[in-house]
A and B are shown apart, each in its own frame.
Chain A
Amino acid sequence: MPSSVAATGSQDSHIRPGGPALRRGLLVPALLLLAWMAASHNGLLHSSLLVPPERVLILPFGDEAGQQIWAALAASVARMLVGFAIGAIAGIGFGLALGMSLTAQRAFAPSFNALRQITLFAWIPLLTAWFGNGDSAKIVYIALSAFFPLAFNTYEGIRNIPLAYVEVARVLRFVPRQRVTRLLLPGALPSICIGVQVALITAWIGTVGAEYAMGAGRGLGAFLLAGREQFRMDVVLLGVFILALVGYVINVGFRRILKPFLLWQGEAK
């Protein structure tokens, strides 16, 4: 988990916005897009899979299948928010409990670390057996996918609180509530914020993955599945584009919100 955090954190390390760099960065995608358009229009490569790019773009306002994207996106985002809220509260609570009590840590950390090794997607067959194909199984799965990164990051954040702070809290004889609100939560906040970001992304991918794997109901995953089954490449491409776009918005939007918190962490060190 820390390594994946590092990977997402370092994505925009050296690309400056605007200027000639941006123009050069757009050159290759523009050429590719032109090649795609040329190939799909001149009929050299005749294939139903090679849909013109502009058809993908107007699809949300086009035929019936395409218009479904709005409802699908709304359903997925709503589902994700519910699952994320449940998983996030449970994850932060569990992480706090592990961080606060050595006994809890000894009792639960090994089991937690073992369970974390099970690839999230592998929970889906068990969850569908227990909760069916409906919303409850999906929400449990989304909650699980938010729970693990948040519990881990909260726990790690607490463990990395400088010993000096912990000792000050002890000298001041903080009662447990003060320990949580004045020491543990503020101390672990930067790490929790990163956990929230990772959890939002995994919850989003988890949402679409669960919808795609379980099939029933509305949502972006079901939209993709339908497009695939009807051999509609334009529908699939639109769905994948929206899937990536929402992930990108979560990443960028959250990084902007996160900035003040991370700056503050830099000062503390």
Chain B
Amino acid sequence: MTVSSPPGSFASPDLRHVATRSRPGVLAALAWKRVRPRFWPVAQFLLPAAFPLAILIAWQVTTANNWLPVQILPTPATVLSTFWDLVTGGDIVVNLQISFWRISLGLAVGGLAGLAFGTVLGVSRAADEMLGPLFKALAQVPSLGWVPILILIFGLDEMLKIIIIAKACFVPIVLATSEGIRNVPRPYREVAQVLRLRRRSVLTKLLIPAALPTVFGGIRLALSHAWIALIVVEMLAAAEGVGYMMVWGRTLFQIDIVIVGMLIIGGIGLLMDAGLARIERGMRRWEPARA
């Protein structure tokens, strides 16, 4: 391959471009072409780690040179050791237990109520016309809006947290359940009519199984909403839990605790999302083909 290869050959454009600069440039370009096929897959493989690594190095350099006070940015080693202390000391376990208890209770209350209410809205057109608009109007109020109202009513009681989380679960589950029931394919309903199934059999044999995948989508959404609501309510109105742990670290100017809290919150969010997506995929396989 020569530098003066005729135009139209594949190598020519970039090499000619380099050749106008200098001879070492050509050599470098040629060397790169040799190395690239071997180097490139490795680089591609390592690439996702490059950005976090760069951040970590910048963080380490910044803190090692004391460019920022520790109250603003603790060293990576401090964060790691704080993480270890909080795990072995049991603080994280205790706080997570409380947080998970709140989520489970809120999901159970809000989920069951949402399933029941969503079924009513999905089955009965009259109920949907009467209660649907009110439900949608109230659903417009974000969890954040309910916090000050409920604090005035319940104080900082445990009740407050459960209600906020239950409400965060209730809304998506109602929407998913009523949609799922309403979208059952028409031919199925007609078959049920031809077979003269009783109302109860229609519900248990047709509507609930057919709506299940959509409902599960709603539960997944509910869980992610519940997680967000939990963090919000624990940061604004709690004395324990993961969210509170971060606020507490912030008031002590222990940013290492804050960062550990963020890592834990992100990690749990990731795990929950991946786990539920897997279960949902399993359920979708079973979903009837849409007519």
Contact = CB atoms under 8 A, between A and B. Distances in A.
B153 to A, nearest CB: 6
Interface in A98-124: 103, 106-111, 114-115, 117-124
Interface stretch (A8-16, A37-45, A81-89): A8-16
A243 interface: yes
B152 to A, nearest CB: 6
Nearest to B146: A240
Given A119-B265, A129-B253, A240 B141 contact: yes
SS of B interface (majority): helix
A236 B151 CA distance: 10
- Chain B, interface size category, equals 35 or more
A208 interface: yes
B130 A212 contact: no
B144 A212 contact: yes
B278 to A, nearest CB: 15
Contacts of A121: 228, 231-232, 235, 243
A92 interface: no
Give the interface centre of A11, A49, A125 by most chain B CB atoms within 10 Å: A125
Contacts of B236: 212-213
A68 interface: no
A248 B139 CA distance: 10
A160 to B, nearest CB: 18
B50 A107 contact: yes
A119 B231 contact: yes
B130 A233 contact: no
B269 A119 contact: yes
B265 A228 contact: no
Interface stretch (A23-31, A166-174, A181-189, A253-261): A23-31
Contact of B270 (A49, A114, A122, A130): A114
Interface in B36-71: 44, 47-48, 50-52, 71
7 contacts: A11-B136, A15-B133, A25-B133, A122-B262, A125-B258, A129-B250, A244-B137
Given A107-B50, A125-B235, A209-B232, 16 more contacts: A7-B175, A21-B129, A27-B130, A32-B134, A49-B152, A111-B51, A115-B266, A118-B262, A118-B265, A119-B265, A122-B235, A123-B262, A212-B144, A212-B147, A212-B148, A251-B140
